Amino acid sequence: MASPPESKSAFRTYQPTMPRPASSSKIQRTLGGLDQQLDEIMGMEMDRGQTAAQENRWVFEIAWEVANKVGGIYTVIRTKAAVTMEELGDQLIMLGPYNESTVKMEVELMEPENELIKGAMEGMRKKGIKVFYGRWLIDGYPSVVLFDIGSGAQYVDHWKKDLFDLSRIGIPWTDKESNDAVIFGNLCSWFISDFRKQFEPTESPLIITHFHEWLSGVGLMLCRLKHIDCSTIFTTHATLLGRYLCAGNADFYNNLSHFNLDKEAGDRGIYHRYCMERAAASMAHVFTTVSNITAEESRHLLKREPDLVLPNGLNVVKFQAMHEFQNLHAKSKEKIHDFLRGHFHGHYDFDLDKTLYFFTAGRYEYHNKGADMFLESLVKLNNLLQVSKSDVTVVAFLIFPTKTNNFNVESLQGQAISQHFKETVTKIKDKIGKKIFESILRGDMPDPEKLLERSDVVQLKRCIYAAQRPGLPPVCTHNVNNDANDPILNHIRRIGLFNSSHDRVKIIFHPEFLTATNPLFACDYEEFVRGCHLGVFPSYYEPWGYTPAECTVMGIPSVSTNLSGFGCFMEQHVADPTSYGIYIVDRKFKAPNESINQLARFMYEFCQLSRRQRILQRNRTERLSELLDWKSLGIYYRKARYLALHKTHPEVFESLYGNNGDQMTMRYPRPASAPPSPNSSRASTPVTSTEEEEDDDEDEK
């Protein structure tokens, strides 16, 4: 393969650099100049593509989720775009499918100014392919090339035969998703090939192609099988077979090395998909996953050791003052208070100031997402609070979307009654206020007995009688289709937590994602998370886990497991996760009952914390947000691209992977204000806070 044009940056030799100066951020002090060293080694400055353009270096990011919101990878691609554009600018081109409904809202369509892109598109259009160019309306404003999958269906039989001849992988006609993957992969490799052919013979462009998940894997296979001049990266965010095995309640992690892979895939009707994924992982110059737990899974199921782990990040918006996110917590919590006042009318016998909100959310995968473990631990938590005669009430929300027949009448009626009471009391309050004002103006002291008129008393009594209800508050806010077979509702029936007055733990199952137009909560998902006290995600199968990461960024403590990518990442990079409000349940080396007891103990100890201790813990949790920022984690993707170039151009690009891989490890220290006890989450008097933990109790009302 020809060498690229000479560039000072491309040929830069690694020289050790001094760590960057200490800053007010402990995260930056922890990184100790890692990203600066990496930039020095790779020569990849954050200059919006100027260096990449000088080196004639191009990056194609290919995923089914580009400008197409159909899964969690959409969040990865979307949030990472800004930091990638800071590095590559218009040298980055994203390839995805054309989804008209999404494109109308998220993409500004236009004709490309770049002649290389224009030429490749025109060649495909002449063959009847509908291909669109535009700018994705997200942070970074990246270029996207979108292919109409339907317009490529005319070639699907030919492409499937071609794939079989090249790889011996046959695709059944009945599997629409796999057929779409074949069309998408062929369109992507076609575009990349035509793009490469437009360079002059004397030019040697450096083209890096990054494929995400098995749906784009055919494109990577064709790039290699047809010898297209490009470096390839394949990232699996979760293995196909792993997800299917876990959904079937298999003892997955204890049998990873014992599964008959071909038989398991064949029994589930996904053998051809499994072959596509395994082939893409095997043929890629660089194979990556998103977490150490998925790396272990890939080692056994895809038979290749990942070259790198690329953790998922988020775009973190930092507040100027520490108390700002605490104020947001208080405001959002008040909206949840309003919901509870209506939902529990007639049984509203607990103090909201002593009520804690726990929640879990995600795809409705009852076992994989740990909903079964969460419910079992809530029973034990309820018993612990009752035995200790605690005055704390826990309201546990389960937010898993499933098919429903809309909101149930009781839930809507409760909110209507609560709103009516509020309006009645407001009118009476205004009348009383006016009387007091007039009396003071006349120089008289108000007579308390005359402030409340007889008609006002009658109205208030009618409200009290109207608040009474014969039954218990509903555990579900919607009418669930086929509720007799719903796993969560059946589990609630079995454990008997029906929101009784004597129960210290209340349960609310909301089978729909939260939006700002929700008539019950009147808040979107982000506001709801900010208003809660603890997120609980005891997942059994979670390759990464954006839900606990989102909690961390918002300063909300969370529970994860050592079988989730997020939990493994925090155990690896944070010296004492519990001190930062990151509780990690052991589901890997403990029996289910032991894990349930551990989760119940974590939640009980959290209930024992004082308000001041919870505030300090939220401050620490929020400080970890920089660890999850793409500005910190983007360096892993830069290293993957560099490694891919090293594999295809070893004579030009010096190896960073072998000699300096250890430098990719970050370790965030234990907070100075954490209690000295190993069980630092237990209720105890915290050490005087540091300057970074300054905040007042009045921030949380």
Return all residues near 127 (Cβ < 8 A) that are at least 6 apart.
none
What pLDDT, on the 0 to 100 scale, is given for residue 671? 67
pTM, two decimal places: 0.84
In sequence order, what DSSP letters do the residues of 210-268 get, joined into one string? EEESGGGHHHHHHHHHTT-S-EEEEEESS-HHHHHHHHTT--TGGGTTT--HHHHHHHT
d(CA 432, CA 440): 12
Mean pLDDT, rounded, for 410-435: 87
What pLDDT, on the 0 to 100 scale, is given for residue 674? 60
277 φψ region: left (φ > 0), alpha (ψ -120 to 50), beta (else) = alpha
Q: What percent of the chain is predicted at pLDDT more than 70?
A: 86
7 falls in which pLDDT band (50, 70, 90)? Answer: very low
Instruction: Supply the mean pLDDT for the chain.
Output: 87
> One-letter amino acid identity for 215?
L
Tokens 């729909």: give the residue: 512
d(CA 638, CA 209): 13
d(CA 585, CA 598): 7
Mean pLDDT, rounded, for 261-289: 97
Identify the helix (H) or strand (E) that includes residue 405: strand 404-407
pLDDT digits (tens, 9 = 90+) for 524-579: 999 999 999 999 999 999 999 999 999 999 999 999 999 999 999 999 999 899 99
What pLDDT, on the 0 to 100 scale, is given for residue 324? 83
What pLDDT, on the 0 to 100 scale, is given for residue 468? 80
Task: Work out the number of other CB atoms within 10 angstroms of the CB of residue 30.
Answer: 18
pLDDT digits (tens, 9 = 90+) for 205-247: 999 999 999 999 999 999 999 999 999 999 999 999 999 998 8
What pLDDT, on the 0 to 100 scale, is given for residue 669? 67
pLDDT digits (tens, 9 = 90+) for 500-510: 999 999 999 99
In sequence order, what DSSP letters do the residues of 545-592 get, joined into one string? -HHHHHHHHTT--EEEETTBHHHHHHHHHBS-GGGGTEEEE--SSS-H
pLDDT digits (tens, 9 = 90+) for 352-404: 999 999 999 999 999 999 999 999 999 999 999 999 999 999 999 999 999 99
Of residues 24 and 569, more confidence is placed in 569
Mean pLDDT, rounded, for 457-469: 82
What pLDDT, on the 0 to 100 scale, is given for residue 460? 86
- 56, burial (CB in 10 Å: exposed 0-12, middle 13-18, buried 19+): middle
418 falls in which pLDDT band (50, 70, 90)? Answer: confident
347 falls in which pLDDT band (50, 70, 90)? Answer: confident
**Most confidently modeled range among 303-317, 437-451, 682-696:** 303-317
| 62 DSSP β-pair partners | 95, 211
Strand order in the sheet with 92-97: 107-109, 131-136, 143-147, 92-97, 57-62, 206-212, 231-236, 286-289, 308-309
462 falls in which pLDDT band (50, 70, 90)? Answer: confident
What pLDDT, on the 0 to 100 scale, is given for residue 16? 33
654 falls in which pLDDT band (50, 70, 90)? Answer: low
Q: What is the DSSP letter of 137?
A: S
414 falls in which pLDDT band (50, 70, 90)? Answer: confident
Of residues 413 and 19, more confidence is placed in 413
Mean pLDDT, rounded, for 53-58: 93
What pLDDT, on the 0 to 100 scale, is given for residue 684? 38
pLDDT digits (tens, 9 = 90+) for 183-204: 999 999 999 999 999 999 889 8
Of residues 24 and 74, more confidence is placed in 74
What pLDDT, on the 0 to 100 scale, is given for residue 322? 65
What pLDDT, on the 0 to 100 scale, is given for residue 386? 96
The answer, yes or no, to whether residue 26 has pLDDT greater than 90, is no
The answer, yes or no, to whether residue 171 has pLDDT greater than 70, is yes
What pLDDT, on the 0 to 100 scale, is given for residue 321? 62
The answer, yes or no, to whether residue 3 has pLDDT greater than 90, is no
